[in-house]
Structure 1
Amino acid sequence: MTIADIYKIYTEHFLVDTDTRKIRPNTLFFALKGDNFNGNKFAKEAIKLGAKYAIIDEAEYKISGKTILVANVLETLQNLAKYHRSKLTIPVIGLTGSNGKTTTKELINAVLSKKYKTTATIGNLNNHIGVPLTILSITPKAEIGIIEMGANHQKEIEFLCSISTPDFGYITNFGKAHLEGFGGINGVIKGKSELYTYLINNDKTAIVNPYDAIQVEKTENCKKILFSSDTQFLEADPFVKISHQNIIIKSNLIGKYNYTNIAAAITIGTYFNISIENIKDAIENYIPTNNRSQVIKKDDNIIFLDAYNANPTSMEAALENFSLIKEKSKTVILGDMFELGIETDEEHQKIVNLSDKYSFDNTFYVGEHFFKASTTNKKFKNFEELKNYVIKNPLKNQSILIKGSRGMQLERVLEFIT
Structure 2
Amino acid sequence: MSTSMLSTAELYSKFQECTGVSTDTRKITANCLFVALKGDNFNGNQFAQQALASGARYALVDDPAVASQELRCLLVADSLLALQDLARHHRQTLTIPVIGLTGTNGKTTTKELIAAVLSKNYRTYATVGNLNNHIGVPLTVLSIRNDGPTAPYEMAVVEMGANHQKEIELLCSIAQPTHGLITNVGKAHLEGFGGVEGVRKGKGELYDYLAQHGRTVFINSRDKVLMAMYRERLKSLRSETVFAEAIFYPAVDSTEQTIELIQESPVVIYRDEAGYEVITYLPGQYNFENMLSALTIGRYFGVSRDDANRAIAEYNPTNNRSQVIHKGTNTILLDAYNANPSSMAAAIRQFAAMPARRKVVILGDMYELGQESEAEHAALGKLVAESQFDLVILAGKDMKYALGWLPKAYYIPDKFSLHNWLMDHPMTDTHILVKGSRGMGLESVLPFL
Q: What TM-score comes out, normalization by structure 1 length?
A: 0.97
Out of 120, 127, 130, the position equivalent to 2:126 is 120
CA contact (8 A) 1:241 1:248 kept: yes
- What is aligned with 2:79? 73
CA deviation profile, 1:149-180 (whole Å, cap 9, x unmatched):
00011110011101111001100000111111
Q: Distance in 1 between matches of 2:192 and 2:367?
A: 11
In the other structure, the counterpart of 1:291 is 320
C-alpha distance after superposition, 1:169-222 (max 9, x if no partner): 100000111111111111111110000000110001110001111211222323
Partner of 2:272: 244
Contact 2:220 2:250 in 1 (8 A): no
3-state SS in 1 of match to 2:281: strand
SS in 2 for 1:219: helix
Q: Which residue of 1 aligns with 2:388?
A: 359
Task: Identify the match of residue 29 of structure 2 among 24, 27, 38.
Answer: 24
Cα distance, 1:14 vs structure 2 = 4.8
Q: 1:189 aligns with which of 174, 196, 200?
A: 200
Matching residue of 1:216: 227
**2:262 aligned with 1:234:** yes
**Cα distance in 1, alignment partners of residues 434 and 223 from structure 2:** 28
User: Given the alignment of the two structures, is residue 262 of structure 1 paired with residue 294 of structure 2, yes or no?
Assistant: no
Instruction: Output aligned runs, 1:132-211, within 5 Å.
Output: 132-140=138-146, 141-211=152-222
TM-score by length of 2: 0.91
Asked whether the 8 Å contact 2:118–2:298 carries over to 1, the reply is: yes
**Is 1:225 aligned with 2:240?**
no
User: Among 74, 82, 93, which residue is 1:87 paired with?
Assistant: 93
Aligned partner of residue 105 in structure 2, secondary structure: coil
Match of 2:34, SS state, is strand
Pick aligned residue for 1:391 from 423, 427, 442: 423
Matches within 5 A, 1:53-68: 53-62=58-67, 63-68=69-74
Residue identity matched to 1:254: P
Give distance in 2, aligned partners of 1:406 and 1:64. Answer: 39
Segment drifting more, 241-250 vs 38-47: 241-250
Give the distance between the partners of 2:73 and 2:396, measured in 1 at CA.
47
Aligned pair partner of 2:412 in 357, 374, 380: 380
Moved more, 120-129 or 348-357: 348-357
Distance 1:372 1:313 in 2: 17
- Secondary structure in structure 1 of the residue aligned to 2:278: strand
User: 1:56 Cα deviation (Å)?
Assistant: 0.7
> Structure 1, residues 359-379: CA drift from partner, whole Å, max 9, x if none?
111111111111133122221
Q: Deviations over 1:258-310 (max 9, x none)?
A: 01100000000001100111101111110012110111112221111011111
Give, in angstroms, the shift of residue 244 of structure 1.
Answer: 2.3
CA distance in 2, matches of 1:154, 1:49: 38
Count of residue correspondences: 417
CA contact (8 A) 1:206 1:219 kept: no
| Distance in 1 of aligned mates of 2:58 and 2:44 | 13
**Which residue number corresponds to residue 10 of structure 1?**
15
1:400 aligns with 2:422: no
Question: Which shows bigger deviation, 390-399 or 161-170?
Answer: 390-399
Which segment drifts farther, 328-337 or 294-303? 294-303
CA RMSD of aligned residues (A): 1.2
| Deviation of the 1:25 alpha carbon | 1.6
Name the amino acid aligned to 1:203: G
In the other structure, the counterpart of 1:99 is 105
Distance in 2 of aligned mates of 1:64 and 1:320: 59
The Cα shift of 1:248 comes to 2.1
CA distance in 1, matches of 2:316, 2:89: 35
Q: In the aligned structure 2, how far is the partner of 1:354 from the partner of 1:46?
A: 51
Is contact 1:249-1:284 (8 Å) kept? Answer: yes
Shifted more, 30-39 versus 122-131: the winner is: 30-39
Q: Is the contact between residue 18 and residue 57 of structure 2 (CA under 8 Å) also seen in structure 1? A: no
Post-superposition shift, 1:65?
A: 2.4
Q: Is the 8 A contact 1:332 1:364 kept in 2?
A: yes
